[in-house]
Structure 1
Amino acid sequence: MLRNLVVFAYVFGLYIGPFCRSQVKAVCRTLILNCVNYKLQMQPQSLPSAQDVFFIMPSRSTLALFAVLLTWQFDTIKGACDDKFTRCAQYPALCASASIRESCPKTCKTCESNLCTENNGGCDQVCTWANEAVSCSCRSGFRLENDNKTCVDIDECTERPNPCFIGLPVYCVNTLGSYSCQTYKCKLPGEMNYYKSPKCCKATNGRCGTTESIRDRYLETRLLATPTVTRIFGGTNAGLSSWPWQAQILNNGAPHCGGSLITDRWVLSAAHCFTSSSYENMFVYLGQILSASLDSVDITRRLQRTIEQLITHAEYSADFRNDVALLKLNSPVQSNDIISPVCLPCGETPEPGVKCWVTGFGRTNPSDFSGSEVLQEVDVPIVDPEKCRKAYAGHATIYTDKMLCAGYDAGKKDACNGDSGGPLVCQRADSCEWYVSGVVSFGKGCALAGYYGIYANVINYEAWIREQLGDDSANLCSKIYNQCRGRKDKDTDCETKLDKCETFPKYMKANCALTCCKLQIGEISNCFDNSGMTNICHIYSNKCRDPTLLTFMEENCKKTCNFC
């Protein structure tokens, strides 16, 4: 009997639902998700379809709520502050559910004047409307100032006893809302630590890939120069503004997939997330670290958008080749401290061994299908493509030109169900800026030893992304990285023949293609003193313009005499 009821609930939500209210469909789908124990070996990291589930005992409260919804009359009552169903007044005790509050605003008293909906009530972060008054509060890692509105970062490294001291000289590195313990702390002007790393990078304030921590360090350096003064296994909770491009996609009110904001209007995700689901029932959420599916979640600063247009790669196949999709939001989003786009690779690709980060709201435990309530982050190193291909031999085809692998030999850290479409991001080699290197695609189980997470390799789809975005693709890349990718030198002495790149272009293209390319884009310079002449050039540096030595100096001391 119970199984029949659950089957009926699922069918009702999927097929009869379109004739009812969308919230009823969401509740039906939520009921099914509470009744699922989903197990598979080779799996895309997204939610299951109807064919993949089998049922277990649902909670009494879920069945009670479902029974109430089935007995309602679905006649809409017009008016912004009116209940949408005729029987709302009979069930005020159910107002704890966000679904009921939305459908029964009059009974649940959610339509009364709420100043938090206007400019966030003047609060920096969290606004709570209670007893007809605004109450401001801050996220973890921040402190509320005396004005009871402004939130400032708590510097755990200086305001409290060193949290990194464990008997070793470990440095505490502060970040917005958090900190990390490192073996080295970067101190030079304009520099900061790579994310949770002892290595240093250059702080920038670009159009994309810049978090609030990076921006703060950049601005702090500028001010000092003036006279005035988280499918995630093994991960941790993410900070408020650590991943401002993270998108969460809900389908009929249930967590579905992730995505990356790449412009103010477009989100990058995975094609397999949309093969069996209509995007018309989906919402995209930005600016949050708590799952949008929760009943009690702070919504004062997050943004909700519908999908105006869905573009999946025309050559996507069931073996996850070309597993990329683009979602056009119904309206642009304004960048701020918790919402901003991530950069495209712009030609840059991480080398094997480089530590990158994957984030999402997916599963964190093999026995818990519901996924994480808090955005998770986990570090994963890039894996050599050939090593990854061999690991999956007999299980899946790894297209090394289309896919990227990341993870540990021992497993334990990985993306999982519900993280599909989300970002694998890395920091630039020449700055702290973040770029999206991969899109969460699939894997054998989650965090299993010997098997790595598989991602769509974004660098191979940059041209496709620009083509699909059209005019919206302008200024996606302010700089092109690795422009000489694929070119090689046959000769071993190419850097001693840089002047011949122009005088003998045909020969140099055949034998010194990489070196001449680097010279052309300014990555290397032809301005140097000839080998063995450095000391002589320095000794006679005041004779650079002497007519007697001019010819000698021009030939041997270009750098010293600035003849370049």
Structure 2
Amino acid sequence: MDKESNEASSKPADLKISNISIQVVSVPGRLPGRRPLRRPIGKARPNKQSKKRAPFWNVQNKIILFTLFLFILAVTAWTLLWLYISKTESKDAFYFVGMFRITNIEFLPEYRQKESREFLSVARTVQQVVNLVYTTSAFSKFYKQSVVADVSSNNKGGLLVHFWIVFVMPHAKGHIFCEDCVAAILKDSIQTSIINRTSVGSLQGLAVDMDSVVLNAGLRSDYSSTIGSDKGCSQYFYADHLSLRYPLEISATSGQLMCHFKLVAIVGYLIRLSVESIQLEADNCITDSITIYDALLPIRSTVLYRLCEPTKTLMSFVSTNNLMLVTLKSPYIRRLSGIRAYFEVIPEQKCENTVLVKEIPGFEGKISSPYYPSYYPPKCKCTWKFQTPLSTLGIALKFHNYSITKKSAKGCEHGWWEINEHMYCGSYVDHQTIFRVPSPLVHIQLQCSSRLSDKPLLVEYGSYNISQPCPVGSFRCSSGLCIPQTQRCDGVNDCFDESDELFCATIKPACDVPLFRQTGPLVCDGFRDCENGQDEHNCTQSIPCTNRTFKCDNDICFKKQNARCDGIADCPDGSDEDSCSCSRSSSALHRIVGGADSLEGAWPWQVSLHFVGSAYCGASVISREWLLSAAHCFHGNRLSDPTPWTAHLGMYVQGNAKFVSPVRRIVVHEYYNSQTFDYDIALLQLSMAWPETLKQLIQPICIPPAGQKVRSGEKCWVTGWGRRHEADNKGSPVLQQAEVELIDQTLCVSTYGIITSRMLCAGVMSGKRDACKGDSGGPLSCRRKTDGKWILTGIVSWGHGCGRPTFPGVYTRVSNFVPWIHKYVPSLL
């Protein structure tokens, strides 16, 4: 119990009644109000002196009763005070967790033992210093206590002290406890020397490194589980062998789970944690999660990585010091949860190299991020110096799943690059990119992200002719890749960014000729380029069965993304059309900016997403439990938390939904770029599946085939409750609909300039019909002529204004994300 409670509980013991004497006094005479019994006449009455009792309310009895009353009153008062303190601590306590390095105390092995005299001595000294700092500060009347949880060695020498600070005050005044304010008090108390210009200063006699001070707001649950009475499962590991793997395993089948693994290595080395498998309920990192810290306490600013999904893929992470904390949290386990992992001690790597590049075609070698293939730690730095044998040769860098662009004023989220004194930002993509430096001498420096561990990087390098970036007969994509010229304008996205398909002369295939050929031998590829499908008749080649195809019941294989659930029985037995549940038609086809009121039930997949009770974005129903929306709706710490979100389904007028469900999980695409709106897509899982009884009012819309081609001029519909004009300050109460047409990708690129292959434009070039604010995340629905099914072709993403001439709306191209959707919603397969 805390010190105030201990003091409180000791005070009632001061009241004692053992020294009070009790006496019974006899008084002659009759008791008042009592008459003597009658005796028979003639019988003599014994002549005895009658005994008489003392009055009950005499002085002695009054003293006794008064003393008992005082004792009971004192016990009651102190019990209520204890309950108040306990209640105050649980509801009005503010917890801060931090650490700092003491440089003038040498580490002793006994410090690892919490009960040792050495640990208690250091802990007492640090607590006294922190007590003095805050009891003399502006927060003195709210300060309660400090607790040292760990004292460890570290690679910089001295002691690394991990501690908690507790304040108690009404939550109504809790806004004054900003992290920066509490941290500033501690940092300002460190007296540094101007003369020697060192970051080490005196903190009430302790030599503390000011640069090592970290202080964040913490959670009561973490406080209780690390130093409180409910410590849960907590383990401490000290590793001093380089060649050993130390296993970490924990599992539970029900109830609550909160585990802490504290990992400490010998001084001068780092820790690499390898996670083999995670079993937990896929979540949003708010409840179920495995978090890896670069400290021994859950300090938010030291988070290396957070895992929130079950996985069986090996992932490894490296610390920046000789210690690491792994926490596993699950407030309510419904099925098996746990982790299987191991950690090992590794030496620190120097990420620095000089490379002499040869005059050979292609890429000759590789460079990588530190500790590849592990996730590289934050704040790392790498330097490479390249030199070619000839002044006519430059350096080509081929990035795997990564690209670099000119650095903007907003900073770099995934590290920054300095290449020959030019600054670039890195970002993760789902394809390769090539960056060329037209110089025989190239100096490259990578400064890793300062926040979290990041995905491993692999870069191939080689020389190229500066005057001829791509070989003869090749086409250079805007991403830097070189592809054969024969793949230019062939209808296939070989450049990933569609730059090989832009500015191509559009030739309508002559579908009425007996043998239609486009760019190669006719194959059964599932694409019906002709409206009557004659390009799929009399094929000369067939596609072998693979894991990427749909297998009919009679063993015939078709491309899954083209033949499955398209309304046409490609399999003779029609098995490719079985178990398809997306909407074939809406109940109305009657006709946002330039739109009109829709008919009730016309768009049964339309969803309104409410944030803290207010309509904020749109979404589309794709299954009983899943919705599809735009990533930018959930950009930011507060918006990414599913707790304030609710989904309103089967709704025509705002506020009159047929079904409302809290949002259980938000999955934003991992490559989403908030500056360019690339990869602007997100999945939402409902807490409750909508009932089958509402299937006439709520229906999922069909996901397009992967790589689906759309034709400019095709008519589609955009729907939503957003603003009806750009100048409006509120959305429409009634669901609006507007007919738009798909815009040629080349024209879209020439209009905006930053259109990627994951985007498409739709609207009317004269303006007046468009999505607007509040429609974000809603559907662009196109009806397929072959079977009447509605296809989710696009997601409302961004645009210049609303309904402006020559500026159509930009939508996320859903067909480019079908594999990503299937990863989380395999039931759509």
Max Rg structure? 2
Q: TM-score, normalised by structure 1?
A: 0.42
Greater share of residues in helix: 1
Q: TM-score, normalised by structure 2?
A: 0.29
Whose RCO is larger (CA < 8 A, sep 6+)? 1
Greater share of residues in strand: 2
